[in-house]
Amino acid sequence: MFNTLLIANRGEIACRIAATARRMGIRTVAVYSDADANARHVQACDRAVHIGGPEPAASYLRADAILEAARRTGAQAIHPGYGFLSENADFARACAAAGLTFVGPPVDAIAAMGSKSAAKTLMSGADVPLVPGYHGERQEADFLQEQARAIGYPVLIKASAGGGGKGMRIVHADAEFQAALASCQREAASSFGNAQVLIERYLTKPRHIEIQVFADTHGQCVHLFERDCSVQRRHQKVIEEAPAPGMTPDRREAMGRAAVAAAQAVGYVGAGTVEFIAEPDGRFYFMEMNTRLQVEHPVTEAITGQDLVEWQLRVAAGQPLPLRQDQLHIQGHALEARIYAENPDKDFLPSIGRLDALQWPPHVVFQTGPVRVDGGVREGDTISPHYDPMIAKLIVHGQDREQARQRMLRALGAVRCTGVHTNIAFLGRLMDDPAFATADLDTGLIEREHDRLFPAPRDSEDTTLALAAATLLHHDGLARPGATAMTGGPWSQADGWRIGGHYARTLTLKDDRGERTV
């Protein structure tokens, strides 16, 4: 096992990796940008190295600066986390050239899965089921439209090198195809530097189910069961859970077998996620493989009792997998909610600013427990425009799905966060939504339940206004318990008392509906 690990990331995932490394006795090195000089992940590590300006391109995407930081600190391995350089084959290759262990899959595996089209061609040869579609190299508009007609509408146009919902369009009719294709190609070229697309049949009520796989250098490969990530907005995950509701043992075994076959087809090593799209009748199709740890890995840790970062580090050090397939078992049910600084009522517009207050319910950190919080910011920190506005991940575990759902509702209700807009109230409505509560899940749930999840704004209630006014008066010393004490003499008291006449004060409060006077 190496003794010094550089974490080439920031925020909650850097803190999470550092926690496991510390428990294993591994020294950690953080890297940070100008914007992150006082960030939590910097303080979570044994040493920190400045690597550049606040923009990712000037810091966390600078392979040269990260490799130089590893050289200066004597790091023997680099963990890329997720995002940034985690699925960059050139970076993994540069690590190897510098004599550093890249905590991730082999370069060839990253490259093979980096293109959606190439990956699907590879999967077809490994007998992994694919959505009917065209994944080839020809990109002429008329030819692609012919493929769409042959597949049958509706179809999905997807950027071959894409992710995160960018470069993706649903086309319902032939007359819409050419305009949608041009739009998709422009966005793909802008976002990924590659305009190539693929065409697939669009499934009308699909579920997004992914399988966590792990492989070592000794020829072993296992899956750690499934996660349901169907609840999404704009193709980005909002709620993840494990195991998938309604999953039968036969279907779990079939999906696990297909995921392992996908990993073995590319000579995979380390942690990976094979993502499938599933139809209501049980049929499932390969979508893509993420060659890294996923944001939602804590729900898998909760139901298996395993530390997936520890598995990553052991495999990267050449050790065999800690457990065989028959030693892995599902325990209970887990849910994860991503808490973001964003305004759901304004199309999830990111919100930047200072976290004036940030309080969590009783919880564990980076471990399994009834309530777990994986966070990378603290009260007083600033949500920057330079990075993803995630505040934390809230994870709960219960004996069954209903207990986990109730725990999530209580945990969300106990979070206190002010200074920025958040999606906490929205997540609470989502947990309480009848479709979610009964596990009537598909990737269109948020749109389908829009009216329930986005109720029309209402004026603040009188009780809310009174509490706000009392809080302001309290801070001004006008409503503080014991304010009538004579410690400073009667004339120094700021409690509003007057020897004659009346004391009046007007407070102007603002909510989403406008200004209110108290």
> Which pLDDT value is given to residue 367?
87
Q: Pairing relation of β-strands 236-242 and 221-233?
A: antiparallel
Is residue 134 scored above 60 in pLDDT? yes
Mean predicted confidence (pLDDT) in 274-303: 94
> Which pLDDT value is given to residue 493?
67
Residues whose CB is less than 8 angstroms from the CB of residue 57 and which lie 6 or more positions away in sequence, other chains included: none
> Which pLDDT value is given to residue 78?
98
* Whole-angstrom distance, CA of residue 311 vs CA of residue 183: 42
Is residue 312 scored above 60 in pLDDT? yes
Neighbours of 402 (CB within 10 A): 12
Is residue 487 scored above 70 in pLDDT? no
Percent of the chain with pLDDT over 70: 96
Longest dimension (CA), the chain: 91
Mean pLDDT value across the chain: 93
Alpha-carbon distances, residue 350 vs 230, 345, 365, 383 (angstroms): 22, 11, 25, 10
Residue 20 φ then ψ, to 5°: -70, -45
Top-confidence residue, 74 or 501: 74
* Whole-angstrom distance, CA of residue 395 vs CA of residue 373: 6
* Whole-angstrom distance, CA of residue 67 vs CA of residue 95: 7
> Which pLDDT value is given to residue 490?
67
Domains with residue ranges and CATH for the chain: 4-103 (3.40.50.20), 132-201 (3.30.1490.20), 205-331 (3.30.470.20), 332-456 (3.30.470.20), 462-517 (no CATH)
Is residue 480 scored above 70 in pLDDT? no
> Which pLDDT value is given to residue 498?
74
Distance of CA 296 to the CA centre of its chain: 6
Torsion of CA 112, 118, 120, 125, to 10 degrees: -80
Q: How confident is the model at residue 368 (pLDDT cuts 50, 70, 90)?
A: confident
Q: At residue 168, what is the residue type?
A: M
Residue 281 φ then ψ, to 5°: -80, 0
**175-195 pLDDT, tens digit each:** 999 999 999 999 988 888 889
Is residue 15 scored above 70 in pLDDT? yes
pTM: predicted TM-score of the whole model, two decimal places: 0.85
Q: How confident is the model at residue 257 (pLDDT cuts 50, 70, 90)?
A: very high
Distance, first Cα to last Cα, the chain: 64
Torsion of CA 336, 342, 345, 348, to 10 degrees: -80
* Whole-angstrom distance, CA of residue 503 vs CA of residue 176: 67
* DSSP-assigned letter for residue 203: P
As annotated, the active-site residues are: 292
Torsion of CA 210, 215, 220, 221, to 10 degrees: 10
Alpha-carbon distances, residue 206 vs 131, 135, 278, 283, 444 (angstroms): 12, 20, 5, 10, 8
Q: At residue 212, what is the residue type?
A: Q
CA-closest candidate to residue 309, choices 290, 293, 295, 326: 293
**397-456 pLDDT, tens digit each:** 999 999 999 999 999 999 999 999 999 999 999 999 999 999 999 999 999 999 999 998
Q: How confident is the model at residue 135 (pLDDT cuts 50, 70, 90)?
A: confident
> Which pLDDT value is given to residue 116?
76
> Which pLDDT value is given to residue 164?
67
Q: Which of 70-74, 186-190, 457-461 has the highest mean pLDDT?
A: 70-74
> Which pLDDT value is given to residue 479?
59
Integer-rounded Cα Rg, in Å, for the chain is 26
Helix axes 89-97, 63-73, angle to 10 degrees: 30
